[in-house]
Amino acid sequence: MSKELQKIIDKLFLPQKSIISRQNKLIRVCDIVFMQYQRGRVEALTAEGLRYELPENINYYEKSLKGYFLRVHRSYLVSFDRIEGTFERFPDEPENIRDLRSKADECELSLRGTDIRVPVTSTYGKSLKKALGISSFYFLVPENPADKKLRQYGLIDFGWRELNSLDVSNKAAVAAYKDRWDIKKFSRERMLSYFRLYGVNEINKKRMIKNIIYQLWRWIVAGIEEKSDGNIRSMWYRIKSVLAHHANVLDPNDVNIFYSTLLEMIEAAGLFRYKDFGFMDMNAPYCDVHDSHPEIILASEKIGHFLFIRNLARQYGASFVCTKGEPAVISMEYFSDTLHEKCNGKPLTVFCISDVDPAGYSIERNLVKRLELNGHKIKRLVKLVDANIFESEDISVLRYPVVSYEQSGDIIKPVAPANMSQVTKALDWFREVQDERLISEKNIGNGSKIVTIWGIESDAADRKLIEERFKSVLQRLIKKKVRR
């Protein structure tokens, strides 16, 4: 075997090579973010945040790991593949005391796998720019808050430089790019290098799935990946089937990790929307945005009110939505986008029909919250059903128990099947309602009493009264609109 061929083979296998620390710990080269010389010793920092003291000097590792690590400072070697961005090294220093030639060759590096920034001195700056293929560090934009958020969330934007310059109309180039960077096609060894569970030789499945979902979204937005056929489960099989031919790291039960991760990324982290993936809205038949007064919305939580609110909304040219319980995030994405198309930025007035209980009021609040999260301003929320729509004698017949709790002084204990969380929510709701007809007490001796908080189903309300309330407020709104 020739020396040149041997060098090529050694370079290919270098990332998987291990070096030994003074503590006799084997550390894979690909797990090291940077090496640092300080106080007479060399330390390696890994992506897990662990530091290991190494037995040789930094010059030894610069030579033996050449091609994978790059010298950027007399005290630092960095993993070339982990370089993410550059920052000005002395941003607060007065311009007139700095040497401009040195400034152009100095910076700080951000590296994937750590929040620590590594300094680059003018001695090594030119070789670093040459290795990165740039003429100035100022061609690289410093990390913005959004980038930092992604990094802290555990996301890696694989192949982002190539994606930014990729010609999406060049099918051969797209195919080559996807073969190189498609996480689903990574080998198990490559998966471990990026998604290893801390302290064990296993893959962190959640982080892997998180990155696959993010990559799918990035590629859909870039136009090099097709959207889903509308079914979320199809996306799971799309991921699992490709993985099965490569790393084969997912089990059938891991579908729950996929669903929970997707929900977390959309509903908690707010990284993107369900609609971006092409998932269909199962609630589409139960809502409509009218052309006449799209900014006026008639909403109900119950499917039983569907025909009633649809006909009433159509009669007055208003929009309507039947949420069927808590408003689904994906449904609100589609509904909100249609509202944007027809409302032209007008603030919304929302009329709600919901149960007079903690759950009903929660649905109203979440409906408003979802509209606001999707970029709408809410002018007014009108409750079409509240305790005032019922006569006192009717409430005593129609009400039902929400929760009961035992109270002795300031001590409260929930009565089964209620738990303390439900009691707390019910008490918060009652403080908002402040209607004594929806609370009752029963003394049980020894200074204790059983307190019950009651609710009323919105189905029990007279629909003629609901319609009168709706028309009364709506007519005032329309008159104001006409005067303007």
- CATH architecture assigned to 284-386: 3-Layer(aba) Sandwich (3.40)
Residue predicted with more confidence, 231 or 148: 231
Beta strand pairing call for 318-322 and 293-300:
parallel
The sign one gets for the Cα dihedral 191, 195, 201, 202 is negative
pLDDT in the model for residue 340: 96
- Name the packing angle between helices 358-373 and 420-433 (round to 10°): 80
- Which of 119 and 15 is assigned the larger pLDDT? 119
Where are the strands (E) in 354-484, listed by range?
378-383, 400-408, 411-414, 439-445, 448-455
Q: For the chain, give the percent of residues with pLDDT over 70.
A: 89
Q: What is the pLDDT of residue 462?
A: 95
Strand locations in 185-344 (E): 287-288, 293-300, 318-322
Residue 8 confidence (pLDDT): 45
Higher local confidence (pLDDT), 405 or 150 = 405
What's the mean pLDDT in 260-285? 93
- Stretch among 85-89, 385-389, 406-410, 479-483 having the lowest mean pLDDT: 479-483
Answer for the pair 455, 399: CB distance below 8 angstroms, yes or no: yes
Does the domain at 3-141 match CATH 1.25.40.10? Answer given as no
Average pLDDT over residues 241-256: 80
Q: How many Cβ atoms are within 10 Å of 437's Cβ, its own excluded?
A: 16
- Tell me the per-residue pLDDT of 177-186, one tens digit each, with 9 for 90 and over: 999 999 999 9
Task: List beta partners, residue 411.
Answer: 408
Please determine, for residue 3, whether its predicted confidence score (pLDDT) is greater than 80. no
- In the structure, what pLDDT confidence band is assigned to residue 93 with cuts at 50, 70 and 90? very low
**Mean pLDDT of all residues in 12-27:** 80
Predicted local distance difference test score (pLDDT) of residue 253: 82
- What number of CA atoms fall less than 13 Å from residue 235's CA on the CB side? 26
Q: What's the mean pLDDT in 339-367? A: 95
pLDDT at residue 210, rounded to an integer: 95
Residues 6+ apart with CB under 8 A from 204: 195, 196, 197
DSSP 418: -
In angstroms, rounded to a whole number, what is the distance separating the alpha carbons of residues 418 and 453? Answer: 11
CA 384 – CA 288 distance, rounded (Å)? 19
Total residue length of the chain: 484
pLDDT of 419: 94
Mean pLDDT over residues 20-30, rounded?
89
Q: Which residues pair with 210 in a beta bridge?
A: none
Cα–Cα distance for residue pair 73/52, rounded to 1 Å: 19
If we measure between CA atoms, which residue out of 31, 17, 24, 131 comes closest to residue 65? 17
Check if the beta carbon of residue 125 is closer than 8 Å to that of residue 78.
no
Between 349 and 480, the more confident residue is 349
Q: Are 31 and 46 in contact (CB under 8 A)?
A: yes
Judged by DSSP in three states, 174 sits in helix
Q: Is residue 101 over pLDDT 70? A: no
CA distance 117 to 85: 10
Contact between 335 and 284 under an 8 Å Cβ cutoff? The reply is: no
Other CB atoms within 10 A of residue 459 CB: 13
Residue 220: predicted pLDDT: 95
DSSP 267: I
Rounded CA separation 6/11 (Å)? 9
SS3 label, residue 184? helix
Query: Are the CB atoms for 433 and 356 separated by under 8 Å?
Result: yes
Question: Are the C-beta atoms of 290 and 319 separated by less than 8 Å?
Answer: yes
Cα gap 80→57, rounded to integer Å: 20
Confidence label for 17 from pLDDT (cuts 50, 70 and 90): confident
> What is the pLDDT confidence band of residue 146, given thresholds at 50, 70 and 90?
low
Task: Read off the pLDDT of each residue in 440-451 and give the average, rounded to a whole number.
Answer: 93
| Tokens read off for 349 | 């007035």
**And the tokens for 74?**
């007399």
pLDDT per residue as tens digits for the range 372-426: 999 999 999 999 999 999 999 999 999 999 999 999 998 999 999 999 999 999 9
Q: Where exactly are the structural domains of the chain? A: 3-141, 160-277, 284-386, 400-455
Q: Is the pLDDT of residue 96 over 80?
A: no
pLDDT average, residue stretch 245-263? 85
